[in-house]
Structure 1
Amino acid sequence: MPSLYPRATLKRIIKSHQSKALSKNVDVLIYLNCMIFLQKLAQEANSEAEAGRENVIEKRHVKAALEKVLQDFQG
């Protein structure tokens, strides 16, 4: 089964930014969290565009949605 992302590269990036020992599959959790964040951001930006009766998602829609999504993901 082909990989969805460059797992070795992601592990290397995580390891270079973290001095503590991490779980074996932490890269999968980080990747999934990132994908959920991007999906939520796209959905919120789409809602912003639809609220303004526009068919195209623009930069301002993403910026408005970003504030909402970051509040949801703040933990």
Structure 2
Amino acid sequence: MARLYSRTTVKKIVKAHNPRSSLSKNVDVMIYLDYLLFLQRLAREADAELLQTKGTMLQAHHLQKVVEQTLQQFRG
């Protein structure tokens, strides 16, 4: 199975944002899992928006309505 992301690249990006912080050994895995949870919640919220508007196919405007709310839930 191909790797989904480069561990060293993710660590370098995180370290560039906050060079003084010490990173745990598996910080890249935690970031990736948080990303997957974000995508899952975004899809769930967009699906709920689709059902609320009585649509039949998920479209970009359904995602645009819920993306800000979902982003705010993941900040912290």
TM range (shorter): 0.7 to 0.9
Structure 1 equivalent of residue 55 of structure 2? 54
Question: Match for residue 41 of structure 1?
Answer: 42
- Residue in 1 that maps onto 2:8: 8
Q: Which moved more, 1:45-54 or 1:62-71?
A: 62-71
The gaps in structure 1 that reach 5 residues or longer are: none
Count of residue pairs brought into register by the alignment: 75
TM-score, structure 1 length as denominator? 0.78
Partner of 1:18: 18
- Scaled by the length of structure 2, the TM-score of the pair is 0.78
Question: CA deviation digits over 1:23-68, x for unaligned, max 9?
Answer: 1211111111111011100111111112112122222211211133
- Between the aligned partners of 2:46 and 2:73, the Cα distance in structure 1 is 14
Cα distance in 1, alignment partners of residues 37 and 27 from structure 2: 15
Structure 2 unaligned spans of 5+? none
The CA RMSD over aligned residues, in Å, is 1.8
Aligned partners of 1:2, 1:23: CA distance in 2, in Å?
Answer: 24
Q: What is the CA distance between 1:7 and its match in structure 2?
A: 1.6
Task: Give the superposition deviation at 1:2.
Answer: 4.9
